[in-house]
Amino acid sequence: DAGITQSPRYKITETGRQVTLMCHQTWSHSYMFWYRQDLGHGLRLIYYSAAADITDKGEVPDGYVVSRSKTENFPLTLESATRSQTSVYFCASRTGREQYFGPGTRLTVT
């Protein structure tokens, strides 16, 4: 039972490149979320999805794109990476009140 997985776990990319971070959950939870974690800011919501084909912006959506064609997958794309997007990215899914987080992807933009 894998739960929620993220790939890759580590990524280094250059400014201007497109990067896609993958998130997969095995529970069929309706809600999924993408957060970024930066020192001093905690976890900030980028985008969330209430169901397949339903997505909405969070606190810091600029520079990011999401899609959700299947319930179990919620990829996050940085269309043109910038150094300010260097961060640790967490995907989460929710059932009831509790959010279940993946292990995170550490992204470095050089």
CB-CB neighbours of 92 under 10 Å:
22
C-alpha–C-alpha distance, residues 91 and 78, integer Å: 15
Question: Any contact of residue 62 with other proteins (CB under 8 A)?
Answer: no
* 98: helix, strand or coil: strand
* 34: helix, strand or coil: strand
How many residues bind other proteins (CB under 8 A)? The answer is 21
Question: Any contact of residue 49 with other proteins (CB under 8 A)?
Answer: no
Which of 44, 71, 75, 86 touches other proteins by CB under 8 A? 44
Which of 25, 102, 107, 109 touches other proteins by CB under 8 A? 102
What token pair was written down for 72? 């179990």
Of the pair 73, 99, the CB lying nearest other proteins is at 99
Question: Any contact of residue 10 with other proteins (CB under 8 A)?
Answer: no
The backbone region for 46, taken as left when phi is positive above 0, alpha when psi lies in -120 to 50, beta otherwise, is alpha
φ, ψ for residue 98 (rounded to 5)?
Answer: -85, 135
Which of 29, 85, 90, 93 touches other proteins by CB under 8 A? 90
Name the residues that contact other proteins, by CB under 8 A: 31, 35, 40-45, 48, 50, 58-59, 90, 92, 97-99, 101-104
